[in-house]
Structure 1
Amino acid sequence: MNKAIKSTSGTIKYRLKDVNSDKETSIILDYNFGRNNRIKFSTGYKVLPKNWDKTNQRIRAVSYIENREKVNSDLRLYSFEFLSVISYLTENEKQDREILKTILEKIIRGTNEDTNIKNTFFDFADDFIERKENQAKNIGAVKLSPITVRSYKQTINRLREFDKKLNYKLDFESIDLKFYYAFLKYMEENKYAVNTIGKHVKNLITILNRATEDGVNFNLKYKHREFKPVSEEAVSIYLTKSEIKALYDADLSKTKDWELARDIFLFGYYTGQRVSDYNGISSSQIKMFDDKQVFEFKQKKTGKKLFVPVHPKLQEIMNKRYNGKLPKKLNEPDINEYIKEAGRIAKINEPIIICRTIGGKEEVKEEAKYSLIVSHTARRSFCTNAYLSKMPTIDIMAISGHSTEREFYKYIKITPQERAVKIADSAFFKN
């Protein structure tokens, strides 16, 4: 009998999926093997963070948790059986993620068959969204905006509606190309726009990728090249310098909500920031460098720290309507509603042709430009007008926070004629 000592080459650790949750959260098995190699696998058990002993990686001895000894015993058993099995693998097999996940699946799912614990797609999705929601609320390395969290929730709601309407019995195993085309058809029949459908497919793929990484999903049919978000080019406008001036000059004094939304929008335009950063700027963000006033931003989406000169127009707004202070914060939906009214008063009436696919049918209609203005139009207008004013791209990116020129050029919106005029001013065409 061979009694030689065999190495596992890895370590097991149990942790909670979300230590900041105020609800029960999943207990995750982490297996670290080799450099930068890690497998995360759900044990199927959940516990309140306050009842988890992080040091000993066990449920605390709390009297009202009746099955704590069973859970702790299972956790010990999972570790023992897993390390026992992999000790007999070849070195190559010990580095094969799929083999390791299969072993964990057999050990953990098999052991839990009599406990009725099962990670269904909707269970996992709800847990995923809860964790993302807590990420958005808590201080951490990466925060998700409430809008992104809401988008995930909308996707799961649409999938639940689909599942109920068609009695599809949706779960990880049933998510394949047949499901994909059935879901697209369902969304089209319910008059959803192409980009809305694409958003939900994209969110679904994100959730499935995470479930696969966590060792909960083993069905990879969603990775088929046809299983992808659908899209069409969206209409994204920018306001020209003359339209910005008209907006600035518009008399909105009789409707203070519109006036506030307009002023907040102009702060977005003259700083080039996202609405999450320019809506609610505080006086503590105004700094002095070499006798120049600048705004200090730490972008909520990227975490980047940026410095933007305080434009004279913003100082005028502060002095004229806010006693030298900054405008108060306004809910983003209200900004989007009121800025359209401000644009209407400013007579930003250029007709814009809109082509959209809704319910599988192309719709073409004409809308006044002011009706398309939203909070994000401010940032896009800054980038485009700064580019047309011949501000160096590297300086524009230093303000906007774009990481690459490729992303920046995808962002600006100019016509071929405007680009030709800008090119005509280059040194090549001067001689």
Structure 2
Amino acid sequence: MNNTIQSTSGTVKYRIKDVQAKGETSIILDYSFGRNNRIKFATGYKVHPKNWDKINQRIRAVSTISNREKVNSDLLKFSYEFIDAVSSLDEFEKQNKDILKLLLAKIIRNDYEIVKPISSFFDFADDFIKTKENQAKNIDSVKLASVTVRSYKQTVNRLKDFNKKIKYNLDFDSIDLKFYYSFIQYLESNNYSINTIGKHIKNLITIMNRATEEGINTNLKYKHREFKSISEETVSIYLTESEIDALYNVDLSKTPDWELARDIFLIGYYTGQRVSDYNGIVEEQIKKFDGREVFQFKQKKTSKHVYVPIHHRVRAIMDKRYNGKPPRKLNDPDINEYIKEAGRIAEITELITIQKTIGGKNETKSVPKNTLIVSHTARRSFCTNAYLSKMPVIDIMAISGHSTEREFYKYIKVTPQERAVKIAESSFFKN
């Protein structure tokens, strides 16, 4: 009989990345081994915190999660295959984080192309993007995820351009304040706006944080208080009720694409939703409660369920041009292009002064209001006009999905004069 006690390979546990997340958050595999050694690896799956069973480390039995069984089965498979693979390693390999992560990459991502441990910044950045792409395939809003992935790719490409042209020899150890100001100067010399520069800095910090969490980076100079994302306030317009009326009444029958974009935009306005929710509403989302028609939404960004009364103008749009159903979906870039033209025909052309910092220089110019209309203007216009119409803020938030009043008040676009008029209507100022 063999009385030798075989040491275990380690302990695999699953957790969610952010227990306070308002929407879905990543499911992380944690592996503890040796003395105070630990690695973590993204599984590619996400779940809302309320649907995560912390004790059993699985997704709860919730009828609205159609792929729950597959995810839970995959989590079990990942841990079993990983422990089995680790058991075949020698003692040195069992303590090597790079080898362990390579095993996880093969098991979870089915990624057999990795032939060497990740050590350089650009190797890690490319792998980070690859992970994000895999995650994007496993969440509801693939479109939102693809936009995020594209943003990271743009940042890494700008860093590669900077490294090549400046010959900076960029790596983890060289990412400090000197690099920070050199990179900003490089972007300014290429006429990038301050908000675009800020986006790239923000993305870089995210990549560095991930590398630090995974034990690949040990340089913390990027955490200096001066090493921060920069931004400036942009002009975010809203359309007044009279401008919404003009847009609703204008005849666009000779330009069907503009008409479709206008109709989708107005549905966005009268529902107060994000474009990812209001563009592509299907007939099955129309419900009836106490004889009143409402749209049912599960917001893609937050997973919140909201119910919005169908405005009589929305019903008229559907009945007049779409056989009583919501209009078909239109590509978001097309909405942004066509709604500007619809606004021009509707004579929403008041001049708006905008300021923007490009290439380190402040530029001021006036542009017609219609050129600033985008798909998100619909939601902002709803929130602002509903507030000015004295709809209770709690009711507006129930429709828009804002979590706090502070968040809501930062979002709406109300001038001091408009707020003064609204306050004047209160009982305190009336006779």
TM-score, normalised relative to structure 2:
0.78
1:146: how far off?
2.1
Preserved CA contact (<8 Å) 2:189 2:359: yes
1:116: how far off?
5.5
1:417: how far off?
0.6
The reply to whether residue 77 of structure 1 matches residue 76 of structure 2 is: no
**1:198-219, Cα deviation, whole Å (9 max, x unpaired):** 0111111111111111111111
**1:46-102, Cα deviation, whole Å (9 max, x unpaired):** xxx9xx964141687xxxxxxxx9x9525x5354x59xxxxxxxxxxxxxxxxxxxx
Q: 1:53 to 1:330 in 2, by over 3 A?
A: closer
1:415: how far off?
0.9
1:28: how far off?
7.6
Residue in 2 that maps onto 1:399: 399
Preserved CA contact (<8 Å) 1:172 1:219: yes
The reply to whether residue 306 of structure 1 matches residue 322 of structure 2 is: no
Preserved CA contact (<8 Å) 2:141 2:300: no
Secondary structure of the 2:80 match is: coil
1:133: how far off?
2.2
**Amino acid corresponding to residue 301 of structure 1 in structure 2:** K
- Counterparts of 1:273-288 in structure 2, within 5 Å, are 273-288=273-288
Q: Report the identity percentage.
A: 66
The reply to whether residue 293 of structure 1 matches residue 301 of structure 2 is: no
- Counterparts of 1:313-324 in structure 2, within 5 Å, are 313-324=313-324
CA distance in 1, matches of 2:316, 2:252: 16
CA distance in 1, matches of 2:250, 2:140: 42
Q: 1:196 to 1:383 in 2, by over 3 A?
A: same
CA distance in 2, matches of 1:300, 1:32: 38
1:323: how far off?
1.2
Structure 1, unmatched stretches of 5+, are 16-26, 43-48, 61-68, 83-103, 110-114
Preserved CA contact (<8 Å) 1:299 1:305: yes
CA distance in 2, matches of 1:247, 1:219: 54
**Amino acid corresponding to residue 31 of structure 1 in structure 2:** S
**1:258-314, Cα deviation, whole Å (9 max, x unpaired):** 011111101110010110111000011111111111111111111111111111110
Secondary structure of the 1:57 match is: helix
Q: 1:401 to 1:116 in 2, by over 3 A?
A: closer
Residue in 1 that maps onto 2:384: 384
Residue in 2 that maps onto 1:118: 118
Choose 202-211 or 222-231, whichever is displaced more: 202-211
Preserved CA contact (<8 Å) 1:41 1:216: no
Residue in 2 that maps onto 1:247: 247
Q: 1:183 to 1:328 in 2, by over 3 A?
A: same
Q: 1:411 to 1:166 in 2, by over 3 A?
A: same
- Counterparts of 1:248-267 in structure 2, within 5 Å, are 248-267=248-267
**1:365-386, Cα deviation, whole Å (9 max, x unpaired):** 0000000000000000000000
CA distance in 1, matches of 2:168, 2:258: 47
CA distance in 2, matches of 1:199, 1:53: 35
CA distance in 2, matches of 1:282, 1:260: 15
Residue in 2 that maps onto 1:209: 209
CA distance in 1, matches of 2:120, 2:29: 16
CA distance in 1, matches of 2:262, 2:327: 10
CA distance in 2, matches of 1:429, 1:245: 30
CA distance in 2, matches of 1:198, 1:327: 37
Residue in 1 that maps onto 2:31: 30
**1:239-271, Cα deviation, whole Å (9 max, x unpaired):** 000000100111111111101111110111001
Q: 1:232 to 1:40 in 2, by over 3 A?
A: same
CA distance in 2, matches of 1:30, 1:142: 29
- Counterparts of 1:171-250 in structure 2, within 5 Å, are 171-250=171-250
The reply to whether residue 13 of structure 1 matches residue 12 of structure 2 is: yes
**Amino acid corresponding to residue 426 of structure 2 in structure 1:** S
Preserved CA contact (<8 Å) 2:202 2:228: yes
**Structure of larger gyration radius:** 1
**Amino acid corresponding to residue 262 of structure 1 in structure 2:** R
CA distance in 2, matches of 1:118, 1:149: 20
- Aligned alpha-carbon RMSD (Å): 3.2
CA distance in 1, matches of 2:218, 2:242: 56
Q: 1:59 to 1:375 in 2, by over 3 A?
A: farther
TM-score, normalised relative to structure 1:
0.78
CA distance in 2, matches of 1:126, 1:378: 36
CA distance in 2, matches of 1:412, 1:310: 22
Residue in 2 that maps onto 1:85: none
Residue in 2 that maps onto 1:57: 82
CA distance in 2, matches of 1:287, 1:38: 53
Preserved CA contact (<8 Å) 2:354 2:366: yes
Q: What is the aligned residue count? A: 366
Q: 1:332 to 1:420 in 2, by over 3 A?
A: same
Preserved CA contact (<8 Å) 2:118 2:124: no
**Amino acid corresponding to residue 122 of structure 2 in structure 1:** F
**Amino acid corresponding to residue 157 of structure 1 in structure 2:** N
CA distance in 1, matches of 2:390, 2:37: 48
**Amino acid corresponding to residue 241 of structure 1 in structure 2:** E
CA distance in 1, matches of 2:121, 2:328: 42
1:131: how far off?
2.0
